[in-house]
Amino acid sequence: MKFEIMSRKTIKPSIPTPHQHRTFSLSLLDQIFPPIYSSTVFFYSSNPNEKGNSITSQVLQQSSRLQNSLSKTLVHFYPMAGRLKDTASVECNDQGAYFVEAQVSCSLVDFLIQPKIELLSHFSPIIDPYTTQLASDSMLLIQLTAFSCGGIAIAVCPSHKIMDGSSLFSFLQSWTVTSRGYGEVVIPKFIGSSLLPPRDLPIMPNPKVNFQAKKCITRRFVFDASKIFSLKAKTAGAIGQRSPTNVEIVLALILKCAMAASKSISSRLGPLVLSQAVDLRKRMVPPLPENSIGNLIWQFLVFSKDSELEIHDLVAKMREGLIEFSNEKANKFKGDEGFQMVCESLKERGELMKRMDITIYRCTSLCKLPLYEMDFGWGKPMWITNNSSNYFEKLIVLMDTKQGDGIEAWVTLEEREMEIFQRSKGLLEFASFNPSAFVKQSRI
């Protein structure tokens, strides 16, 4: 497979940002997130409405539609067209989002039938050194990659300084509606700084690890609905009356197998800490609007001194941690009380990071976000990937499968641990290792 970048340009809002919105204030939670990019890639088959045109013409029309609709969408999401001014604000100067056009010398179906995980980064603009140098201060990067068959991949890479997963979904909803020309455009609500105003904070350490030194690698595992049902049945009765959610049971199995792999290398495995991201919007009183934009998430910690926990024990601990966080902390992320709680949490995490006897896993779940509904005007995506593994080790990212009833898990571990983890019988009894991503789809 040969990848080639064809063009790089900036897309500015179609209407200039009003003077009163030229300075966008970050929230306290935005402040503590490092300026890293997330990368979500959507794979689409060739446009069936353009069969009479050449493949080149199809792709050019799709690219033009994406750029025009992006320009209109940035009018509402104006901070995404700005530049980071300082630690507490974005200058909404309409410099624009960065848009890359590329091509790859293979067909989309051939790639999906046997996806090569190590090549996925080439579909994202943040892998190209020249692009990242030119767009180093951009808040949003987009890459359209054309396959030889006319299929395309669209990578959406927002800065984590002002967007979490739910914010990205709101942005995509607005962009896709504008692109296809029908539906209700999502108007964002920028309320983060009114809840938790920015503060003078010490420089936050960049969490990026040296992957060359660490030799971390990412692997993909798919849990289909029948396997998840079997896994739940296997633990039925030990968890309690309430059946575990798909995310709980899958995450518990991954943690158990990952800890076993780690222990087989180090022989002595210390306490476990799970850092699990949770959306604050629906857990505040009253709940925040779904179209609230910003980093409105927090990571609650689950501790365990016992590295030999069974799946039902892990589920119980995760559930207990989430309930405690939701009931006692989620609604406190406001004003001075929120500032105090954030400071205490950061201090606690800083002390944990210094300890050499603990093992910390991070988990982010994008499940239940209907990303497979994102239609720019030529159908829904055939496959979606999310790659955040450039920044963290021991990272678990969970996403829904295209069918909506299964889970794709993207697991990043140190190379030696992964070699053991990916061969775990307990894992492979319920998960498929990097199966085909090609699913035949009918169009309505």
DSSP 155-167: EEEEBTTT--HHH
Q: How far is the C-alpha of 397 from the C-alpha of 417, rounded, in Å?
A: 17
DSSP H helices in 81-122: 108-113
Q: Is 160 a catalytic residue?
A: yes
Q: Give strand ranges (E) for 121-229.
A: 140-146, 152-158, 216-223
Give CA–CA dist 274/251, Å, rounded. Answer: 10
Element (H, E) at 415: helix 415-421
Distance from C-alpha of 366 to C-alpha of 444, rounded to nearest angstrom: 26
CB 271 within 8 A of CB 304: yes
Reduced to 3 states (helix: H, G, I; strand: E, B; else coil), residue 6 is strand
**What are the tokens at 359?**
């093992």
Q: Radius of gyration over alpha carbons of the chain, in Å?
A: 22
Q: Which one from 30, 76, 122, 160 is the annotated catalytic residue?
A: 160
3-class DSSP state of 366? coil
Q: Is 61 exposed, middle or buried (0-12, 13-18, 19+ CB in 10 A)?
A: middle
21 is catalytic: no
Annotated catalytic residue, options 137, 224, 375, 405: 375
CA torsion sign for 76, 80, 83, 84 is positive
With residue 28 as reference, give the H or E element that holds it. helix 28-32
User: What pairing do the DSSP bridges indicate for beta strands 407-414 and 395-400?
Assistant: antiparallel
Residues paired with residue 397 on neighbouring β-strands, in sequence order: 364, 410
Which residues are part of the catalytic machinery? 160, 375
